[in-house]
Amino acid sequence: MRYLCVIYDGEQTMAGMSKEEGEAFMGEYFAFTDGIKKSGHYIGGEALQPVATATSVRIRNGKLSTTAGPFAETKEQLGGYYLINARDLNDAIQVAAKTPSARTGAVEIRPIVEFDMPA
Amino acid sequence: MSTGRFKAIDVLRRRARFDRAAAALAKSLDVTASSAEADVDAEEVEDDRLRLIFTCCHPALSGDAQLALTLREVCGLTTEEIGHAFLTDPRTIAQRIVRAKGKIRDARIPYQMPSRTELPDRLDTVLRVIYLVFNEGYSASSGEALTRQGLSGEAIRLGRLLVELLAEPEASGLLALMLLQESRRAARTSEDGVLILLADQDRSRWDRALIAEGATRLEQALASRRIGPYTLQAAIGAAHAHADTAEATDWQTIVALYDIMLRLDASPVMQLNRAAAVSMRDGPAEGLVLIETLLAAGELDDYHLAHSARADVCRRLGRTADARASYARALALTRQGPERRFLERRLAELI
């Protein structure tokens, strides 16, 4: 079963790190990604540019509105995601718990809706 | 429902005599124990009960849902009974159960025992749910009856089952705690429905069989040397249970146990309990200082027991006006009938 692990972390966490700390943190992420590739959990995953680069788009009454910034201002920001394959929720929790940001922020696990699509 | 449950427990008892060596051997050969011995049924029932408890108390479900699911699926209570016990519309309970089952299905919460690495965290949730059920039965958060034996009985049954299935010290500690509290049930309320404080209870009405069972479970938990908060609270309960009179209570030990307890759980409520014990060991003036410091911090401002604790030490100090003010505040905050009558009586005595 597929789950999306959505990573929320304070952007200050990274910004507040020294060069060495930041490299060590990224190193943990590379090791984590390698680990879940080897275990067969990994389907995909990306890190996102900071929310300062975000743009939100809405169409209301047929009119396009473009605003700077994320959809919702929160204390922790959406910083990246992993799409994983897991046996069940417990398996997904084990994977999410190993994400480095689980210690500094939070990882939200969302099961993917599998639509029955006509071939 | 209960026939099935007793049957299951009976099977579990037989299971306990099952040659452990055979199970260990089966495990080392990486075959299921079911193919190794004739006790297939017992093994399956045991696994099934545990799986059910751990699934109902899965931390990915909300606290309300864990409670409702456990009472419905493990204890076999109807949604009407659960609604009645928690003063909640049975339709709300039914909805909670439907939603929880929906999440179990859609997020694929597995019907299985947690692995060894998951166990400590998962066991905490199970114990918390069981203790919540017990407390709702022992001192209902509102309503007329101070004690609702049905729920407490279910919680103790769950506690006994868990201890039979799982050799975990905190499971024994929780069972001990519940048994020791339950032993005082008959002595806690007067015939006319007024709460009776521990110090004023007729100790001959305490249930000695429950105290003995609780003490045995406590010893088991303490022998493990992995002592958690339930075991410590049970040890405090045992110190009360073993005092023949209120005056004979070993407050020195009880305060010492609270000191250890605060290292595990420094919540304001635990600090309040310790302050009350200090007021018995050192005197009401010492207790008052601690209680007022806690009240000044603000977190206990809406907690009726904090105000009745202050009222009690003020009363013992002869500070009638302060005592009256705090009893009145506690009375305004409590929703329990027997406790309300107790506070009203105290206020009437203080004129």
Cβ–Cβ below 8 Å for A89 and B60: yes
User: Is the Cβ–Cβ distance between A44 and A82 less than 8 Å?
Assistant: yes
* pLDDT of B46 strictly over 60: yes
- Average pLDDT of chain B is 85
- Average pLDDT of chain A is 93
Residue B193's pLDDT is what?
85
Q: What is the mean pLDDT of residues B57-74?
A: 92
Cβ–Cβ below 8 Å for A88 and B108: yes
B275-326 pLDDT tens trace: 999 999 999 999 999 999 999 999 999 999 999 999 999 999 999 999 999 9
The nearest alpha carbon in chain B to A2 belongs to B107
User: Is the Cβ–Cβ distance between B211 and B191 less than 8 Å?
Assistant: no
Residue B316's pLDDT is what?
95
Give the C-alpha distances (Å, rounded to integers) separating B338 from B39, B147, B174, B193, B324. Answer: 49, 10, 26, 5, 18
Question: Which of B141, B144, B207 has its CA nearest to residue B178?
Answer: B207
Q: Which residues pair with A42 in a beta bridge?
A: A84
Using N-to-C axis directions, what is the helix angle for B149-165 and B119-138, rounded to 10°? 160
- Judge whether B111 is closer than 8 Å to chain A, CB to CB: no
pLDDT tier, B38 (very low <50, low <70, confident <90, very high otherwise): very low
- Dihedral angle, C-alpha B97, B100, B104, B106, nearest 10 °: 120
- Residues of chain B positioned with their CB less than 8 A from the CB of A98: none
Determine the distance in angstroms separating the CA of B118 from the nearest CA of chain A, rounded to an integer. Answer: 9
B237-270 pLDDT tens trace: 999 999 999 999 999 999 999 999 999 989 999 9
B27-37 pLDDT tens trace: 433 434 344 44
Residue A65's pLDDT is what?
93
Cβ–Cβ below 8 Å for A90 and B107: no
Residue B22's pLDDT is what?
38
- Could you say which residues from 54 to 93 on chain A have a Cβ atom under 8 Å away from some Cβ of chain B? 87-90, 93
- Judge whether B108 is closer than 8 Å to chain A, CB to CB: yes
Q: What is the mean pLDDT of residues B81-103?
A: 90
Q: What is the mean pLDDT of residues B209-231?
A: 95
Residue A14's pLDDT is what?
78
The CA radius of gyration of chain A, in Å to the nearest whole number, is 17
- Judge whether B102 is closer than 8 Å to chain A, CB to CB: no
Counting one residue from chain A and one from chain B, the pairs whose CB atoms sit within 8 A come to 23
Q: What is the mean pLDDT of residues A2-27?
A: 92
Going from N- to C-terminal start, the domains of chain A cover: 2-111
Residue B39's pLDDT is what?
52
Residue B7's pLDDT is what?
44
| Per-position DSSP letters for B205-243, written without gaps between them | GS-HHHHHHHHHHHHHHHHTS---HHHHHHHHHHHHHT-
* pLDDT of B165 strictly over 50: yes
Cβ–Cβ below 8 Å for A93 and B112: no
How many other C-beta atoms can be found within 10 angstroms of the C-beta atom of residue B226? Answer: 12
- Judge whether A97 is closer than 8 Å to chain B, CB to CB: no
Q: What is the mean pLDDT of residues B87-103?
A: 93
* pLDDT of B169 strictly over 80: yes
Residues composing chain B: 351
Model's pTM, two decimal places?
0.79
Q: Which helix (H) or strand (E) segment is B153 a member of?
A: helix B149-165
- Judge whether A106 is closer than 8 Å to chain B, CB to CB: no
Q: Tell me which CATH code domain A2-111 carries.
A: 3.30.70.1060
- Judge whether B105 is closer than 8 Å to chain A, CB to CB: no
- Judge whether A1 is closer than 8 Å to chain B, CB to CB: yes
